[in-house]
């Protein structure tokens, strides 16, 4: 191809890429403006309320997972709305100091901490990958505009906290002058993240394949310590209930549209579902009778199982391939692939889990310049994540399971781009994109 033709082709790709990102930006800004009043008024954070009330129950000498004690604690704080507490006892134990203040003050502290952690994650990643100031500013704005980030802030969930723990573990694992101390710290961060939520366990596969046994051992010791210490101090009842009651309940697959895992998508594509979904406000519910694309449970089971097997085996193949390349550069790709697996494969992957796509998105971004596919993938993932916000409004006009899978689509595009990088990136050398 002549130089003139190549230049023309590059200009076309650039224009199309910018157009996709511009559409994504318009949708993101429109959605953010609509949500500003809720942020300014301090959202209800019903998930944080569960953490707070559980810690409050412990401060009052009660037992966790007790509905009556949770109702009593809620009544003392003005009948705050809350969801069920589904975490290990250690998390409530760690939040006990925060439960010493009123829920009104605690919820504001939690919201402020989460916003700070979003900004801190961009600063850490920006420093590590030598982003320009403009790039860091744009990524901060991008992450804050992501509907998934805002959902996490509105409900007061732990996804942002887990995300920065995983980012810290990843970066400590690739330090140029890494030592046993940095490996131990990476293992501690990873173990703490696993105690909060179990789904990052997939990341251990990356460390196993790369024979980072110090990190694996430290993560295991951290997890065991955080599980056993509260049990030894306060008794085994709560820990036993979490393992044999709470954890079992969480394995049940939900077909609700906010479940973006391959299991949830299959439940909607191949099974008939009826929902009562809030659309314009929390109190404005509409009935949804969802007709499957193919009403065949056998096909649904095949789609799910074959999809899981294909994604898992392909991922393991490329994780092994990456392990034979330059460690410092291939590890980013392996970690990013595992980050996608940990949210696409579990029984339930709620929309707030999509915050973790920030890790593979950064990896795709630093590969974007030499690879057109990565540039398109980055733009399309951003557009898919932003479009996810609007599936509720579309229900007023069209009710289709295809419109409830933008989060899943973003994960698939991300995974394909990472597989492309693992296959075609020359010597798997990390090539940062040009500063903006």
C-alpha–C-alpha distance, residues 93 and 89, integer Å: 6
Q: How confident is the model at residue 203 (pLDDT cuts 50, 70, 90)?
A: very high
Is 179 buried (19+), middle (13-18) or exposed (0-12) by CB count in 10 A? exposed
CA angle 5, 9, 14 (to 5 degrees): 150
Q: Which residue has the higher pLDDT, 266 or 278?
A: 266
For range 122-146, the mean pLDDT: 90
Judge whether 396 and 36 are in contact, CB under 8 Å.
no
User: Could you read off the pLDDT of 291-315 as tens digits, one per residue?
Assistant: 899 988 899 999 999 999 999 999 9
Is 160 buried (19+), middle (13-18) or exposed (0-12) by CB count in 10 A? buried
C-alpha–C-alpha distance, residues 223 and 191, integer Å: 5
C-alpha–C-alpha distance, residues 431 and 5, integer Å: 25
Whether residue 337 is predicted with pLDDT greater than 50 in this model: the reply is yes
Q: Which residues contact 386 (CB under 8 A, 6 or more apart)?
A: 24, 27, 28, 31, 145, 146, 147
pLDDT score recorded for residue 42: 56
| Alpha carbon distances (Å) from 338 to 208, 401, 413 | 12, 26, 14
Nearest alpha-carbon partner for 389 in 433, 348, 352, 340: 352
Judge whether 422 and 428 are in contact, CB under 8 Å.
yes
Nearest alpha-carbon partner for 154 in 310, 285, 267, 49: 49
Coil, helix or strand at residue 231: helix
* Beta bridge partners of residue 287, listed in sequence order: 276
For range 202-217, the mean pLDDT: 95
| Alpha carbon distances (Å) from 372 to 236, 334, 350, 417, 421 | 55, 20, 30, 10, 11
The per-residue DSSP string of 26-89 comes to HHHHHHHHHHHHHHHT----HHHHHHHHHHHHHHTT--TT-HHHHHHHHHHTTS-------S-H
Coil, helix or strand at residue 391: helix
User: Could you read off the pLDDT of 171-197 as tens digits, one per residue?
Assistant: 999 887 778 899 999 999 999 999 999
**What is the percentage of the chain residues whose pLDDT exceeds 70?**
91
pLDDT score recorded for residue 9: 63
């Amino acid at each position: 191809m002549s130089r003139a033709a190549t230049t023309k082709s590059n200009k076309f790709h650039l224009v199309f890429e910018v157009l996709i990102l511009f559409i994504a930006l318009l949708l993101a800004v429109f959605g953010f403006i609509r949500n500003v009043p809720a942020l300014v008024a301090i959202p209800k954070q019903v998930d944080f309320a569960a953490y707070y009330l559980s810690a409050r129950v412990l401060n009052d000498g009660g037992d966790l997972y007790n509905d009556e004690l949770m109702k009593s604690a809620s009544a003392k704080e003005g009948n705050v709305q809350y969801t069920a507490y589904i975490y290990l006892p250690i998390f409530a134990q760690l939040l006990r100091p925060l439960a010493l203040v009123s829920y009104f003050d605690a919820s504001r502290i939690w919201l402020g901490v989460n916003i700070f952690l979003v900004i801190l994650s961009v600063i850490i990643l920006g420093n590590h990958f030598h982003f320009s100031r403009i790039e860091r500013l744009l990524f901060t704005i991008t992450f804050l505009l992501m509907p998934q980030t805002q959902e996490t802030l509105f409900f007061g969930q732990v996804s942002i906290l887990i995300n920065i723990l995983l980012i810290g573990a990843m970066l400590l694992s690739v330090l140029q002058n890494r030592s046993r101390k940095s490996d131990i710290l990476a293992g501690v961060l990873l173990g703490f993240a696993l105690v909060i939520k179990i789904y990052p366990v997939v990341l251990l596969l990356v460390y196993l394949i790369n024979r980072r046994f110090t990190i694996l051992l430290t993560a295991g010791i951290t997890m065991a310590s955080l599980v056993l210490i509260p049990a030894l101090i306060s008794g085994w009842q709560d820990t036993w209930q979490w393992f044999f009651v709470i954890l079992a309940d969480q394995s049940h697959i939900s077909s609700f549209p906010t479940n973006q895992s391959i299991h949830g998508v299959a439940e909607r594509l191949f099974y008939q579902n009826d929902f009562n979904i809030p659309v314009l406000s929390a109190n404005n519910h509409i009935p949804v009778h969802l007709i499957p694309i193919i009403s065949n449970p056998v096909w649904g089971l095949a789609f799910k199982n074959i999809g899981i097997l294909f994604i898992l085996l392909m991922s393991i193949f490329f994780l092994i391939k990456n392990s034979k390349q330059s460690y410092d550069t291939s590890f980013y790709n392996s970690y990013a692939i595992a980050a996608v697996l940990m949210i696409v494969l579990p029984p339930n992957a709620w929309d707030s889990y999509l915050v973790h796509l920030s890790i593979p998105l950064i990896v795709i971004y630093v590969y974007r310049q030499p690879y057109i596919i990565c540039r398109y993938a980055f733009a399309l993932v951003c557009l898919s994540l932003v479009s996810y916000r609007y599936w509720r409004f579309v229900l007023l006009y069209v009710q289709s399971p295809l419109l409830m899978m933008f989060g899943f689509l973003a994960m698939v595009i991300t995974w394909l781009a990472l597989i492309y990088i693992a296959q075609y990136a020359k010597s798997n050398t990390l090539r940062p994109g040009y500063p903006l």
